[in-house]
């Protein structure tokens, strides 16, 4: 009985199933002591065997039972431990999913598109890589024209191919007119590139939005009405703007439009009445162009600096913030 108690204690101290198995083998394995005792029973004398056999059988049964019991307990314990690793606290606050959002310039562009769409303008697009013809020649800017100096250009290699990153969205005017007859009104938003020094209001890439309306009897008065409506709808209040005479080879007359801000006037766009040479370059019938007033095609064109508009709308003092990729800046929108 003393042995039984000792072995049972040993069994109860087994910390895991592996250890329990080792103990079991110690007594019941091939070389186990209980197995050995049972085997040697046969070699004992009759009388001795009768004396020892029942006690040995009890020992065997009790120990087997103890191992079985401990094994059950340990298995349940291990299952519990595994489960607790998978335990989920359903009352814990959820982890926030960080979602991104549209870039402020994209959002502004969508808004501007919406305003012009409501005024009946169709949205069209053109390529960012342009030919010399579309970017300059067709826009009445010949090779030796001093106006080419205004747009320092990124030329693509080989230079003989005369491909460039467009310096403005005006080439889209040409592409559209080549394939469409008036009357129409379009806008063409997109990215443009200039090889120039950057500062708080200039970058080497920025966004423009070209506008073009061609019809009969179109005048500067129509342009002023459209652009006033645009500023009012975008800024949701009356905005002070001014037209300043300026020069672009593809318009006549030409002007620039400034907007009043707390720190003074900021140039927002260039504009003017489409130059007859541009109509000619796209192949519009010269006979039609020669006619004036209600008989001939006339149009206005404009090119808005979208970044400048965004700077005004969101009160941003440095254009370079739009392109810096700083999440702290972008998260504010």
Residue ranges in 35-74 that form contacts with ligand FA5 under rule CB under 6 A: none
Smallest distance, Å, CB 179 to ligand FA5? Answer: 19
Helix, coil or strand: residue 322: helix
Residue 170's contacts (CB-CB under 8 Å, 6 or more residues apart) are 135, 139, 210, 250, 301, 303
Which position among 70, 109, 112, 151 bears the catalytic label?
151
Angle at which helices 46-85 and 2-13 cross, to 10°: 20
Q: Rounded to an integer, what distance in angstroms lies between the CA atom of residue 211 and that of residue 189?
A: 9
Nearer to ligand FA5, 11 or 257 (CB): 257
Tell me whether residue 133 is one of the annotated catalytic residues.
Answer: no
Residue ranges in 260-299 that form contacts with ligand FA5 under rule CB under 6 A: 267-272
* Cα-Cα-Cα-Cα dihedral sign, residues 177, 180, 185, 189: negative
Q: Contact between 248 and ligand FA5 (CB under 6 A)?
A: yes
Q: Number of residues in contact with ligand FA5, rule: CB under 6 A?
A: 24
**The residue to which tokens 């431990």 are assigned:** 81
Smallest distance, Å, CB 247 to ligand FA5? Answer: 10
Residue ranges in 162-191 that form contacts with ligand FA5 under rule CB under 6 A: 168, 170
Asked whether 193 and 204 are in contact (CB, 8 A), the reply is: yes
Q: Closest by alpha carbon to 119, among 217, 228, 207, 215?
A: 228
Q: Contact between 319 and ligand FA5 (CB under 6 A)?
A: yes
Smallest distance, Å, CB 333 to ligand FA5? Answer: 19
For residue 249, what is the DSSP state? T
Tell me whether residue 301 is one of the annotated catalytic residues.
Answer: yes
Query: Dihedrals φ, ψ of 246, to 5°?
Result: -150, 180
Exposure string over 216-236, b if 16+ CB within 10 A, otherwise e: eebeeebbeebbeebbeebee
Nearer to ligand FA5, 214 or 269 (CB): 269
Nearer to ligand FA5, 161 or 199 (CB): 199
Smallest distance, Å, CB 301 to ligand FA5? Answer: 4
Smallest distance, Å, CB 211 to ligand FA5? Answer: 8
Tell me whether residue 202 is one of the annotated catalytic residues.
Answer: no
Tell me whether residue 151 is one of the annotated catalytic residues.
Answer: yes
Q: Rounded to an integer, what distance in angstroms lies between the CA atom of residue 277 and that of residue 293?
A: 17
Tell me whether residue 297 is one of the annotated catalytic residues.
Answer: no
Closest-by-Cβ residue to ligand FA5 is 305
Tell me whether residue 75 is one of the annotated catalytic residues.
Answer: no
Which position among 168, 175, 185, 275 bears the catalytic label?
168
Q: Rounded to an integer, what distance in angstroms lies between the CA atom of residue 301 and that of residue 250?
A: 9
Q: Using CB under 6 A, which of the segments 6-14, 104-112, 117-125, 202-210 binds ligand FA5?
A: 202-210
Asked whether 15 and 71 are in contact (CB, 8 A), the reply is: no
Q: Contact between 316 and ligand FA5 (CB under 6 A)?
A: no
Smallest distance, Å, CB 136 to ligand FA5? Answer: 11
Smallest distance, Å, CB 135 to ligand FA5? Answer: 10
Cis peptide upstream of residue 158 (ω within 30 degrees of 0): yes
Nearer to ligand FA5, 70 or 194 (CB): 194
Nearer to ligand FA5, 24 or 308 (CB): 308
Q: Rounded to an integer, what distance in angstroms lies between the CA atom of residue 253 and that of residue 255?
A: 7
Which residues bind to ligand FA5, rule: CB under 6 A? 168, 170, 194, 196, 202-203, 206, 208, 248, 251, 254, 267-272, 301-303, 305, 307-308, 319
**Catalytic positions:** 151, 168, 194, 208, 251, 301
């Amino acid at each position: 009985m003393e042995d039984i108690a000792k072995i049972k204690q040993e069994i109860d101290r087994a910390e895991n199933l592996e250890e329990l198995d080792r103990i079991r083998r110690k007594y019941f394995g091939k070389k186990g002591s209980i197995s050995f005792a049972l085997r040697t029973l046969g070699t004992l004398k009759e009388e001795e065997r009768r004396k020892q056999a029942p006690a040995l059988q009890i020992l065997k049964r009790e120990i087997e039972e103890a191992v079985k019991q401990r094994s059950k307990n340990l298995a349940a314990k291990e299952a519990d431990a595994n489960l607790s690793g998978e335990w989920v606290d359903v009352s814990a606050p959820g982890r926030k999913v960080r979602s991104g959002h549209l870039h402020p310039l994209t959002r502004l562009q969508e808004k501007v598109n919406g305003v012009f769409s409501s005024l009946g303008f169709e949205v069209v697009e053109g390529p960012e890589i342009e030919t010399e013809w579309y970017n300059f020649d067709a826009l009445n800017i010949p090779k030796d024209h001093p106006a080419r100096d205004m747009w320092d250009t990124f030329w693509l290699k080989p230079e003989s191919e005369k491909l460039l990153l467009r310096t403005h969205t005006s080439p889209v005017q040409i592409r559209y007119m080549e394939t469409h007859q008036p009357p129409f009104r379009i806008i063409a938003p997109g990215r443009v590139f200039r090889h120039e020094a950057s500062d708080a209001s200039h970058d080497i890439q920025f966004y423009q939005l070209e506008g073009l309306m061609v019809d009969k009897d179109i005048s500067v008065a129509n342009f002023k009405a459209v652009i006033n409506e645009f500023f009012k709808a975008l800024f949701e209040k009356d905005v002070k703007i001014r037209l300043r005479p300026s020069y672009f080879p593809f318009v006549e007359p030409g002007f620039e439009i400034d907007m009043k801000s707390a720190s003074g006037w900021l140039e927002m766009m260039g504009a003017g009445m489409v130059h007859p040479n541009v109509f000619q370059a796209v192949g519009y019938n010269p006979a039609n162009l020669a006619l004036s007033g209600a008989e001939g095609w006339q149009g206005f064109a404009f090119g808005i600096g979208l970044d400048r508009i965004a700077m005004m709308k969101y009160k941003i003092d440095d254009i370079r913030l739009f392109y810096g990729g700083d999440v702290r800046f972008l998260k504010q929108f």
